[in-house]
Amino acid sequence: MTQQLPFTTSINNGIAQLIFDKPPVNAFDSHGWFAIADKIKELGTTQGVHVVVIGAQGRGFCAGVDIKELAEDGTKITAVNKGNFDTFANVHHCPVPVIAAVHGFVLGGGIGICGASDIIIASDCASFGVPEVDRGALGMGAHLSRMFPVHKVRYMFFTGEMIDAQEAYRLGAVEKVVAKEELMDTALEVAAKIAEKSTRAIRLAKESLNGVEVQDIERDYRYEQGFTLELYTSPDSQEARDAFVEKRDAEFVETK
């Protein structure tokens, strides 16, 4: 049976919109991540598309991976990792600029998309976080490091605490903070400014900017994924996932 896509798409005036729509929290299973990766690649190579805007319906932008899928079958981690990797890489290497328009919670894979994108516009209700260690996982450090300074990244990782849109703006990750009802209009206004410029110039600009970056986020994220897989072989990882699904506190065994 064909699964319903967890997003909708449209193209108008050279601007492609990919809007997440997977209630209740836009958390995607492995099939969903592969579908997102494929669609981003398709949009970036579609004739007449000059900019891609990624937004979302619902309570938040993206809650990352579907923990319930992994709680039921831990072997799915390799498929989830691959779907995540392909999605973030396709955003980063999309031939045209990608704008992330985020609201509510931006977690896990949502951080990966933002960290791989070119511009982030946030609503004033947006908050950013990496609760991976509380879910028995790792990852997103490479993409979070593209957004925030190293010590902020480590604080967020070790504590699991969120930071709000204004703090993200202060730290330089977010271009604009606007009211939620103005979010998509603002993102589309920025996209329109880009879309009216020379397509050739913008595509070359993105390629050149990617080329001069010091950080290789695909290599770094691939490195991180090895530690995620290692963690998934430990009882603590399964306990964290089970506790999350069962809505209880995790009970970890003390280990070195």
Calculate helix-pair angle for 217-232, 109-116, nearest 10 degrees. Answer: 170
CB atoms within 10 A of CB 150: 10
For strand 7-12 and strand 15-20, is the pairing parallel, antiparallel, or unpaired? antiparallel
Is 121 within a domain? yes
Contacts of 229-232 spanning 24+ positions with Cβ under 8 A: 229/77, 229/78, 229/81, 231/136, 231/137, 231/138, 232/74, 232/77, 232/136, 232/137
Is 46 within a domain? yes
Query: Per-residue pLDDT for 32 more than 90?
Result: yes
- Residues 126 and 103 sit within 8 Å (Cβ to Cβ): yes
Query: Per-residue pLDDT for 116 more than 60?
Result: yes
pTM value? 0.91
Domain count, the chain: 1
Vertex 164, ends 163 and 165: CA angle to 5°? Answer: 130
What pLDDT does 169 receive? 98
Instruction: Please compute the mean of the pLDDT values over residues 189-210 and round it to a whole number.
Output: 97
Calculate helix-pair angle for 77-92, 109-116, nearest 10 degrees. Answer: 20
Is 36 within a domain? yes
Is 187 within a domain? no
Domain housing 125 = 7-180+199-243
Query: Per-residue pLDDT for 256 more than 70?
Result: no
Is 256 within a domain? no
What pLDDT does 46 receive? 97
Q: Which residue has the tokens 């980063």?
A: 92
Instruction: Please compute the mean of the pLDDT values over residues 124-139 and round it to a whole number.
Output: 89
Vertex 6, ends 25 and 31: CA angle to 5°? Answer: 105
Percent helix, strand and coil across the chain, each to the nearest 5: 50, 15, 30
- Residues 154 and 180 sit within 8 Å (Cβ to Cβ): no
Q: What is the CATH number of the domain that holds 27?
A: 3.90.226.10
- Percent share of the chain, pLDDT over 70: 98
Cα–Cα distances in Å, from 214 out to 52, 174, 208, 209, 217?
24, 20, 12, 10, 9
- Percent share of the chain, pLDDT over 90: 75
Is 19 within a domain? yes
Is 193 within a domain? no
Is 254 within a domain? no
